[in-house]
Amino acid sequence: MERMTTLFWLGGCAGLALLLGAVLTVIVVVAHRRERDRRDWWRRWAAHYGWTFTENPQAAWTDRLPGRNRRGVRFVLTGTMHGRPVGVAEYAYTETHTSTGADGNTTTSSQTHSYVVTLVWLRRPFPELAVAPRRAFSRLGRALFGDDGYATGNAEFDRQWRVGAAVPGQQTLVGPTLVAAHLAGAVPAWSVRGAELVSWRFGRLHDPALVQSLLTSLITVADLLEQGR
């Protein structure tokens, strides 16, 4: 009797394992199909508007993004807006964490971070330059040691935002109108190197209305940079 119970228990465990495996397989297949359908939708969207859809490209501008994953671009849509070459891409990178418990067992977990990236190609090259919101550590450093060599002279802007440049003095490329646009929340954080102007935000690309709104604000940055305003 005890042997029969053990056999039934082992059989139940094996059946449960097979069921869980089948469920996981279905979940993976469904997720893969949804992702394929989503990319096909964007491919058709691009064709409708005369844009180009490129899947899994490698791009040099990824080294300015979180994670710096050269292979992290899922797809990019490129076209023209307001007479400028522009692009919108989906990008991701994965962080892996390993920890050891008190029992000596090692546990590994991973988390994927997804971003929507917007790009505008400028009409002339610029030195490497970036404007990003100040984080807690940067705010503390400024409070303790004062402004660095990249301050704009606008106290409120320098409190909220930080300019990164190759050499001191190049922060003057961020003109007063662009400073005001940042303070008004009208433009995003951005980075430029050569003629590639890039911005990014958390999330994935689902809503086509997002394409125009994100690119419009980055085109504003492009216009003001080129005009020296």
Q: Tokens at residue 46, please? A: 């691009």
Specify the pTM.
0.79
CA angle 201, 204, 205 (to 5 degrees): 105
CA 38 to CA 87: how far, in whole Å? 18
* For residue 29, pLDDT beyond 60: no
Helix (H, G, I), strand (E, B) or coil at 206: coil
Q: What is the pLDDT of residue 147?
A: 60
| Buried-exposed string 103-127: b where 16+ CB fall within 10 A, e elsewhere | eeeeeeeeeeeebbbbbbebeeebe
Q: What is the pLDDT of residue 218?
A: 97
CA distances from residue 113 to 23, 51, 92, 93 in whole angstroms, order as listed:
25, 26, 5, 6
Tens digit of pLDDT for each residue in 117-169?
Answer: 999 999 999 999 999 998 755 555 555 545 666 788 888 998 899 998 888 88
Most confident of 2-11, 45-54, 134-143, 161-170: 45-54
Tens digit of pLDDT for each residue in 93-117?
Answer: 998 877 776 677 777 778 999 999 9
CA 221 to CA 225: how far, in whole Å? 6
Residue 67 has, within 13 A of its CA and on its CB side, a CA count of 18
At 36, the pLDDT band (50, 70, 90 cuts) reads confident
Q: What is the pLDDT of residue 34?
A: 78
- Tell me what the mean pLDDT of segment 60-84 comes to: 94
